[in-house]
Amino acid sequence: MTDAAFPTTGYLAWQFSQIIAGRLERALRAEDLTLAQHNALQQALWTPGVSAAEIARRSGITAQSMGAAVSQLVDRGLLRREPHPTSRRSVRLFATTEGEATAVHAASIARRIERETTSPLSPDDKDSIHRLLYRLVEELNPDALAIDSRPLN
């Protein structure tokens, strides 16, 4: 492949991310969640006590946008805020019982969409793409991978 090849890898990655994000946004809308709210719930479940600013960094969105998403989740009783024990300026976020159930359900929707959008690929191709994307994200946005990840049932 030459440098002038079209479509470029970046263009293809952007197109695929737009497809997944669009499908996920539509599916989450039916659950009364935005993509930012989904990210906040998942991060609070994976890393209890995480701050909204850290979730924003991991998600690649502004702190203001994440703050609005978090406030809506707190108002709905899906997240709760607790003061940070050592920093008066920071607030820790935790999923409530209802928030955890919502996060688990939303994660199952995300997995379904990933299965659907990658269905044309063989298992080996899926593994290869996963490994390559992981390496890129690890290099370019390591905060996105800085979670205490555990599978959601």
pLDDT tens, 33-50? 999 999 999 999 999 999
* Calpha distance 107→97 (Å, rounded): 15
Taking the domains of the chain in order of start, what are their residue ranges? 9-145
pLDDT tens, 128-144? 999 999 999 999 988 88
Does residue 72 surpass a pLDDT of 80? yes
Backbone angles phi, psi at 34, to 5 degrees: -95, 170
* Calpha distance 136→122 (Å, rounded): 21
The answer to whether the CB of 100 falls within 8 A of the CB of 150 is no
CATH, range 9-145: 1.10.10.10
